[in-house]
Amino acid sequence: MRVLFADAVSGATVTELESRGHVCVVDPALRAGDLAARVDGFDALVVRSTKVGRDVFEAADRLALVIRAGAGTNTIDTEAAASRGILVANLPGRNAAAVAELALGLLLAIDRRIVDNATDLRAGRWDKSGYSRAQGLLGSTMGILGLGSIGLEVAQRARAFGIEVRTLSKPGRDPDVLTRAEDLRIGTVESLADLLPCCDIVSLHLPSTPDTVGLVDEEFLGQMRRGSILLNTSRGELVDEQALLRALDDRDLRAGLDVYADEPGTGTAQWSSPLAQHPRVVGTHHIGASTQQAQDSIAAGVVELIDAFVEGEARNCVNLTPSRIGSATLTVRHLDRVGVLAHVLDRLSRASLNVEHMENRVFRGGGAAVASIDVAGAVPEGLLADLDALPDVLGVSATEIAGDA
């Protein structure tokens, strides 16, 4: 495969991929507007912060895989990729510990006024009496919005400080998340109106979606306790910054921010932000995932995703249907011989059945195999008997897919 890295990458990642026979081109100077003219001839594209728009997918001649070297994929037009059959994969959880560490660092810096302490000391000012008025974190309550891998890591560290943790109840949470939340004794409430007034700290760990953009607005901030702390290490767009500026002054709120709605898209820039410069804000430069440990883990994950793709596995793909679709699943047991499935697929085509998903597994010993085929359309009477009569087919069954419209 030919792999284009549109952002900086560790030399170890390139060496590892090249040892597998892949050709790697690293061009960290590429910008979003350059990608469409650069992507021709590449099978895979790896990005960190560079945006990948529809024009890139329309211009690509052989692109089959885009990897976001991180969790969020809001900078990639996943719908445009899906329309051209291009997989978009991410690496969730690889930077969770790093982001959680920064979130707790911001919290400590706010509570103990560490930034102001250090600034005064460097300027030769000693003010022990002025800085000896911290509230302390023991026994406080933190509300976590977004109980994914990062939210859970934040909860674990908060509990170590003696902080009570609460979150919103959510139907259909993964059983592993529920188990870990129970182990961490995370309480749940039904609504923001129940959560915000009882929290001393609110920490955001949500993706940027139409439902979350502008979530932290005047109403949200008005429900928070006076003097409480807002932490945002997820996405700047979640916060109405003008509303937060007013709340910092009017409600004595404090904030620890690593992300901003209009932050620069480059590593260095001249940038002025009334929010970042507010005296009740401790801000950092969108560095939540920027530890060596996190970057090493992400680099290893890129290699794992490419290995999986080469082996035919769409791992961590975000633009495939999340669940099975179609009307029925056909299970075809057959001898492991050339052409058997070709005949099966020919019969499905004649019956106007579209294959939505298919998997074929060989039994131990290599003599037989079983194919599981999800199809869309009405399974005609007599099809199973027709398939069963094919040479080298050992048996056929069909089951309806629940919930198909």
- Distance between CA 107 and CA 257 in Å, rounded? 10
- Distance between CA 253 and CA 222 in Å, rounded? 10
Reply yes or no on whether 241 is catalytic.
no
Burial class (CB in 10 A: 0-12, 13-18, 19+), 375: buried
Q: With DSSP H G I counted as helix, E B as strand and the rest as coil, what are the percentages for the chain, rounded to 5?
A: 35, 20, 45
Residue 354: helix, strand or coil by DSSP? strand
Q: What is the DSSP letter of 186?
A: -
- Distance between CA 44 and CA 62 in Å, rounded? 9
Intra-chain end-to-end CA distance of the chain, in Å: 39
Q: Which helix (H) or strand (E) holds 100?
A: helix 96-112
- Distance between CA 10 and CA 211 in Å, rounded? 35
- Distance between CA 81 and CA 46 in Å, rounded? 14
> Sheet containing 393-400: which strands, arranged edge to edge?
354-362, 368-376, 328-335, 393-400
**Nearest alpha-carbon partner for 216 in 227, 231, 194:** 231
Count CB neighbours of 389 within 10 A.
10
Reply yes or no on whether 205 is catalytic.
no
Reply yes or no on whether 361 is catalytic.
no
Q: Which of 48, 94, 166, 235 is catalytic?
A: 235
Residue 73 sits at φ, ψ, to 5 deg, of -120, 20
**Nearest alpha-carbon partner for 373 in 345, 350, 346:** 345
Q: Are 347 and 386 in contact (CB under 8 A)?
A: yes
Q: Which of 159, 180, 251, 263 is catalytic?
A: 263
CA distances from 13 to 10, 17, 68, 91, 306 (A): 6, 6, 15, 15, 11
**How is 63-94 classified by DSSP, letter by letter?**
--EEEESSS--TTB-HHHHHHTT-EEEE-TTT
Residue 395: helix, strand or coil by DSSP? strand
* Catalytically active residues, by annotation: 235, 263, 286
